[in-house]
Amino acid sequence: MRSHGGSRRRLYACIAIVCVALMVVIPFSAPRRAAAPVLFASPAFGAAWSPVDEPVASGAVQRPYLWGAGPSSAGLSEPYRDAPGGTRLVQYFDKARMELTDPALGTVTTGLLTRELVTGRIQVGDSPASIEVRGRGSTTPIVGDATNPSPTYHQLRDRIDRPQPDATGQFVTDTLLLPPDASADSTLIVQSGGMARAADDPNALLSHFVPETGQTIPQAFWSFMTAGGMALDGGALVDRTPLYDWIPVVGLPISPAWWVTARVGGAPTAVMLQLYERRVLTYTPTNPTGFQVEMGNIGQHYYRYRYLSADAPLIPATVAPGAPASGKVPKPTATRRATTAPVSTGAGPVHIVDLVARPPDGAADINGETVTIRNDGLATVDITRWTLADPSGINLFTFPSLTLPPGGVVVVHSGQGSPTATDLYFGKKKAIWKDTGDTATLRDAAGSVISTYTYAK
């Protein structure tokens, strides 16, 4: 690290803060197959997501996501010894995990995911002794392409929780490197001054020391965490400064900041990163202005590590019921024709979970007649060219190109309309499902029965 005079430091800090305040750009988005959005597992999760990220998802504001475009998993009941009943409700987003440990209190917390990914030690209670040892940390690369050999979380196990002297006024110039003949279990080495040119970048100036953990935050990350922005409040966009409280959302830094060279979109790219208790922050100078600093996809990485890696699941979880994506309670639906309890069958994760046979506004309201399908599994399911039919087979609906993520829901209406990722239409002009009872059958593209839903009068 290299030191400069106080006047230059103050100038750089002011420039960086002004640059953050003036950011307005159009983010990149890649075309992808339509996917039904996931329901929030609790209205409290929707309320925590909405102020900062709903304006981004709607296109009203252009900035990086704080949580993600929406939940990326179903709600899960994960073991937690100090929660009522021994489990707590959680839901994963690309950038983090939301937790509701005590529903009576209604307080949403952000998961302390980083140490667990680095060390492989999963905390399942408030006490530090409440640990489940997975074996080793995640070998997922923290930044860039999925094929990058480094840096992975596991490779940083000897680099976190090491307090450092106050480095305010110096520049982040150290780099992380794989040692020669490295293996998947190798730890990274630090090359002092490996990114010397960063001493000319005001965003690499170390500007805020955190004595609790003995780490110093570079200007790029400090400006990002403390900047203001437009937030949704009572249905209107308001200017809020700071945009969010950084300690409960990001956590304290647990590592120094370093530079790495990682492939991003196949191209070698210089990225500065720093690990925090709840998040990972990255700074990529070559990104468009306004998107140079971003939250890493730690929620996505942790979910894969805990549930989809080769030895998963170490700690079991069950899928919890969802709430509407808006986080609000839906208005009452139509009265079902069934007078006895309906029966839903199917061994797989995708099920018919509801059938509304009587439109709320009578026979004219054909689109009030609906069949709801949900993915209760822990992996995304492609339902392209699956079919939904009544027993006669005359009323047959074939699904377009569509995937259902964990917790994803799609509703098939009997009438006509413009299809979306959440609402599809049979295209009929009269009701399909009978007053006297009926059965809806969901089949995959090969014709195998996936789920049935039967009701009787």
Mean pLDDT computed over every residue of the chain:
83
Q: Give residue 160's pLDDT band: very low, low, confident or very high (50, 70, 90).
A: very high
Instruction: Tell me, yes or no, if the pTM score tops 0.85.
Output: no
pLDDT at 109: 97
Phi and psi angles of residue 71, each rounded to the nearest 5 degrees, phi first: -60, 145
Helices 219-226 + 6-21 axis angle, to 10: 40
> Exposure pattern of 170-179 as b/e (b: 16+ CB <10 Å)?
bbbbbbbbbe
Tell me yes or no: is domain 343-456 CATH 3.40.190.10: no
- Each residue's pLDDT tens digit, 12-45: 444 343 333 333 333 323 333 344 555 788 999 9
- Each residue's pLDDT tens digit, 395-434: 999 999 999 988 788 999 999 999 988 899 999 988 899 8
Q: Give residue 167's pLDDT band: very low, low, confident or very high (50, 70, 90).
A: very high
- Hey, where are the domains in the chain? 6-320, 343-456
